[in-house]
Amino acid sequence: MNKTSIFFGRLPVLLVLICLVLLVGIRGWAQPQIENQPIPAGKDDSQVSQVKEKITKDWHIEFSEDFSDVEIGQEPESLFILDGDYTVQKGEKDRKSLKLPGTPMGDFGLLFGPREKEKNLELNFSFFASNKGRRMPSIAASIGGIRGYCLRLSPAAKKIVLSMDETILQESMFSWKGDQWWKIRFQALTGSLIQSTRLRFKLWPEKEKEPADWYLSEVYDVEYIGGKCALWGFPYSSMPILFDDLEIRSN
């Protein structure tokens, strides 16, 4: 048998192998694209729920704290307080939350959760703050430790600042209203390139439905990092800041 006959005899096997390689490659590329897509606008509630379920089905809870089992006036053992007199208090409708006093003025932070480094991470939490005249508070959250991806709400400047290790990545305009609970959902996802990360977040009043669209969803030329999560309170208005429903998810 000559070489030409051998080659054509093996051709069907080669075609099958090539097809398998292509299918695996396409599936591997498509999956992160689906997970990293924002939920489209213009869908009814049932469609939005289906899309959310598809996007979030592989997320796992790594940390959760709602302070319901912590005694009033105590510092939760599940948190590592960096600075500040954080204690659990009871508010309206007997809701327990973590309270940062309005004085002294400064920046007060805490760390919590596992040190995850090779997973996409999502940080969820609620907060309550008030202004006093023209003086307004500020809060911040980060994924990847105190020098990680940081999301800071600055009501006085009407801005949300996204940064990493004090380097500003993006600023967005946002008008905040106090004396109500707000919810924040913040994600850091591995990008398609080695040194790229998709950061996205949304925030909304707790009394309202979660918005379908992300307030911001962008890929940045920064290497993906993991680690613990952090929160900060800046009581510039001399009014207490409350935090609740802390949750970290990963996939």
192-209 tens-digit pLDDT: 767 899 999 999 999 999
**Does residue 13 register a pLDDT over 70?**
no
16 domain residue, yes or no: no
42 domain residue, yes or no: yes
28 domain residue, yes or no: no
Instruction: Count the Cβ atoms, other than its own, within 10 Å of residue 61.
Output: 11
**pLDDT tens digits, one per residue of 98-149:** 999 999 999 999 999 999 888 899 999 999 999 999 999 999 999 999 999 9
Whether the CB-CB separation of 225 and 117 falls below 8 Å is answered with yes
What span, in angstroms and rounded, lies between the C-alpha atoms of 62 and 82?
21
Q: Count up the domains in the chain and report the number.
A: 1
87 domain residue, yes or no: yes
Torsions phi, psi for 243 (to 5 deg):
-125, 150
Burial of 3 (0-12, 13-18, 19+ CB in 10 A): exposed
**pLDDT tens digits, one per residue of 158-168:** 999 999 998 99
What local confidence, expressed as pLDDT, does residue 187 receive?
A: 97
Reference 94, options 131, 67, 129, 63; nearest CA is 67
What span, in angstroms and rounded, lies between the C-alpha atoms of 172 and 161?
7
236 domain residue, yes or no: yes
pTM of the predicted model as reported, rounded to 2 decimal places: 0.77
For residue 57, what pLDDT band results from cuts at 50, 70 and 90? low
CATH number of the domain where residue 239 is located: 2.60.120.560
157 domain residue, yes or no: yes
What percent of the chain has pLDDT above 70?
77
20 domain residue, yes or no: no
Whether the CB-CB separation of 241 and 132 falls below 8 Å is answered with no
- Rounded alpha-carbon distances, angstroms, from residue 138 to 41, 123, 202, 237: 30, 18, 17, 9
Provide the domain limits for residue 146: 36-250
111 domain residue, yes or no: yes
Reference 64, options 139, 119, 127, 114; nearest CA is 114
